[in-house]
Amino acid sequence: MSSTAAQAAGALAAPATGTIPRHVAIIMDGNGRWAKKRFLPRFAGHKAGVEAVRRVTREARAIGIEALTLYAFSSENWRRPEEEVSDLMGLLRHFIRSDLDELVRENVRLRVIGDYRRFAPDVVEMIDDAVARTGGNDGPILAIALNYGAQAELAAAARRCAAKLPPDRIDEAAIEAELQTRDLPPLDLLIRTSGEQRLSNFLLWQAAYAELLFVDTLWPDFDEAALREAVAAFGGRQRRYGGL
Ligand code: FPP
């Protein structure tokens, strides 16, 4: 194992031991259906989705979850109409402008996973600035997945491993050390809202031993109580990691 791989597999590798998951990831799905049910434009659903992001990130901190990863824009979302992509970018800009001070104050470390450098230059600059402003914090991690795709992440990790190591030294730890989530705790719980039961190219490697929870609630309706219920469901699961 390389020394970086050994480091990655060391301190951070311990999964949750109690009933509180250390790392929770959420596929925030159902904004469009939420809006449709109310005869509102899809934008209204995404806007309400941002409110849910705010509620859930606050509640995750209150519960003591160490890392929360949110799937805000997948590498496949470019296929949506230009207007919707632009609306999502607008909401991201707005979220950073309105919530960054709170994140800094609350000791949150903001991270971004995904190839967000393909976004408009002003958004890239805002993201880099926001990440830098929380860089001195040492509290919970809020990771936002932007233009993220797990297969692309794995292909990039494989390329980096191949450039550094002979084939027989490329093991699980070496790959893990090249993932964008390398400084996050192991993924304990992955939630998808809106009744769909797919991973949609999200954290495929990291989900290897995560508990999966699919809930019918549409993302804009997901609230503090829903997160607490999800954490309680996690606490009731038996994790065997392939053992008995
Ligand atoms: C899925 O709902 C949701 C998205 C593709 C985007 C999620 C984005 C947000 C919640 C807002 C931006 C986030 C931040 C962090 C500022 P959908 O549109 O696929 O819903 P549908 O399946 O019902 O149509």
pLDDT one digit per residue (tens) for the chain, 244 residues: 344 444 444 445 666 666 899 999 999 999 999 999 999 999 999 999 999 999 999 999 999 999 999 999 999 999 999 999 999 999 999 999 999 999 999 999 999 999 999 999 999 999 999 999 999 999 999 999 999 999 999 999 999 999 999 999 999 999 999 999 999 999 999 999 999 999 999 999 999 999 999 999 999 999 999 999 999 999 998 877 888 7
* Minimum CA distance residue for ligand 1 atom 13: 72
Which two three-digit tokens encode residue 232? 């309680």
Q: Does the annotation count 29 as an active-site position? A: yes
> Which CATH fold topology does 28-231 show?
Undecaprenyl pyrophosphate synthetase (3.40.1180)
The response to whether 199 counts as a known ligand-binding position is yes
What is the reported pLDDT for 18? 65
Ligand 1: residue of 27, 29, 111, 202 to mutate (most ligand atoms within 8 A of CB) is 29
pLDDT of residue 15: 65
Task: Single out the catalytic residue among 77, 87, 183, 201.
Answer: 77
Name the residue with tokens 């519960």.
63
Active site residue 137: no
Which residue's CA lies nearest to atom 15 of ligand 1? 72
At residue 13, the pLDDT reads 62
Report CA(154)–ligand 1 centroid distance (Å): 24
* Contact partners, residue 55, CB within 8 Å, separation at least 6: 222, 223, 224
How far does residue 47's CA lie from ligand 1's centre (Å)? 9
pLDDT at 6: 42
Ligand 1 center from residue 46 Cα (angstroms):
5
The Cα-based distances of 45 to 17, 52, 54, 91, 208 in angstroms read 36, 10, 14, 11, 31
Residue nearest to atom 5 of ligand 1 (CA): 73
What 8-state DSSP symbol labels residue 84?
H
Ligand 1 atom nearest to CA at 77: 5
Render 173-235 in DSSP notation, one character per residue.
HHHHTTSTTTTSPPP-EEEE-TT----TTSSTTGGGG-EEEE--S-GGG--HHHHHHHHHHHH
Find the 28 Cα to ligand 1 centroid distance in Å.
6
pLDDT for 242 equals: 82
* pLDDT at residue 243 in the model: 84
Q: What pLDDT sits at residue 17?
A: 61
- Cβ atoms 217, 195 nearer than 8 A: no
Pocket residues: Cβ below 6 A from ligand 1: 28-33, 46, 49-50, 53, 70, 72, 77, 88, 91-92, 95, 144, 194
* Residue 23 annotated as binding site: no
Contact 59, 224 (CB under 8 A): yes
Listed in sequence order, the DSSP H helices in 13-41 are: 31-37
Give the pLDDT of residue 210: 97
Predicted TM-score of the model (pTM): 0.92
Q: What is the pLDDT of residue 11?
A: 46
Residues, the chain, total? Answer: 244
Measure the CA–CA gap between 216 and 12, rounded to whole angstroms. Answer: 32
